[in-house]
């Protein structure tokens, strides 16, 4: 499956039905806590320029050529 992640074209060897949550886990952005299945991470994600709530990561399916932007907060002084 070809996806555009943060502006870079990526070819992934995955089966059909990849969810946004699975992608974020594979990329190392996301940790799932088994005791409560809560999602942890300090970032927001947009799929095709639409922000996706963390509560919807598991049910958001990805399609060929989707554009995924992962944005994290940067602080400083």
Domain definitions of the chain by residue range: 2-72
**Class of domain 2-72 (CATH, top level):** alpha beta
DSSP letter assigned to residue 26: H
**pTM confidence score:** 0.84
**Whole-number pLDDT of residue 16:** 74
Place of tokens 């554009």: 67
Spatial separation of the C-alpha atoms in residues 47 and 45, rounded to whole Å: 7
CA-CA-CA-CA torsion for 41, 47, 72, 31, nearest 10 degrees? Answer: 20
**Whole-number pLDDT of residue 37:** 61
Q: Strand pairing of 2-5 and 67-72? A: parallel
Residues of the chain with pLDDT under 70: 33-40, 77
Place of tokens 């992640």: 5
């Amino acid at each position: 499956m070809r996806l555009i992640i943060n502006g870079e074209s990526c070819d992934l060897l995955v089966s059909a039905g990849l969810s946004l949550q699975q992608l974020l886990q594979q990329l190392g952005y996301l940790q799932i806590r088994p005791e409560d299945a809560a999602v942890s991470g300090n970032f927001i994600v947009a799929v095709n320029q639409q922000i996706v709530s963390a509560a919807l990561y598991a049910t958001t399916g990805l399609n060929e050529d989707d554009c995924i932007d992962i944005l994290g907060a940067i602080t400083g002084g």
